[in-house]
Amino acid sequence: MKNSIKVYGILLAAGSSERMNGVDKIWAELNGKPVISYSVDFFHQSDLVSDFVIVTSKKNIDSLGNYLQEKGLSKIKLIIGGDRRQDSVKKAIDYINSLKKKPEYIAIHDVARPLISQSILEKGLKLASNIGAAIPVIPSKDTVKKISNNLVQNTLNRDEIFFSQTPQIFSLGNLSSAFEMVNQEITDDSMLIEISGGIVSTFLGDQKNIKITNTNDLNYISYLLGEGQYEWSNGNGFDGHKFEKGGPLILGGIKIDFGYHLKGHSDGDVLLHSISNAILGGASLGDLGRYFPSTDSRYKDLNSSFFIKKSVELVKNNGWNINNIDATIIAEKPRLKEFALKMEDNIKFLIDSSLVNVNVKITSTDEVGESGNSEGILAQSTATLYRNMKIKYENL
DSSP string, 325-367: EEEEEE-SSS--GGGHHHHHHHHHHHHT-TTSEEEEEEE--TT
Amino acid identity at 384: T
Contact 296, 329 (CB under 8 A): no
Looking at residue 293, its pLDDT comes to: 85
375: number of Cβ within 10 Å? 13
Residue 45 burial by Cβ neighbours in a 10 Å radius (0-12, 13-18, 19+) = exposed
Rounded-to-10 torsion of CA 195, 197, 202, 205: -20
State the fold for domain 230-395: 60s Ribosomal Protein L30; Chain: A; (3.30.1330)
Q: Which residues pair with 139 in a beta bridge?
A: 162
Q: For the whole model, what pTM was predicted?
A: 0.59
> DSSP code of 225?
T
Looking at residue 298, its pLDDT comes to: 82
| Cα–Cα nearest to 266, from 246, 295, 238 | 295
Looking at residue 272, its pLDDT comes to: 96
Residues of the chain where predicted confidence (pLDDT) is lower than 70: 1-5, 16-22, 226-229, 354-355, 367-373, 389-396
All residues at 6 or more sequence positions from 367 whose CB lies less than 8 Å from its CB, including other chains:
332, 373
Looking at residue 373, its pLDDT comes to: 63
Report the relative pairing of strands 133-139 and 105-110 from DSSP bridges.
unpaired
> DSSP code of 308?
H
Looking at residue 220, its pLDDT comes to: 81
CATH 3.30.1330.50 domain position(s) in the chain: 230-395
CATH 3.90.550.10 domain position(s) in the chain: 7-215
Render pLDDT for 61-80 as a digit per residue (tens, 0 to 9). 999 999 999 999 989 999 99
Which class would CATH give 7-215? Answer: alpha beta
d(Cα 3, Cα 347) in Å, to the nearest integer?
A: 49
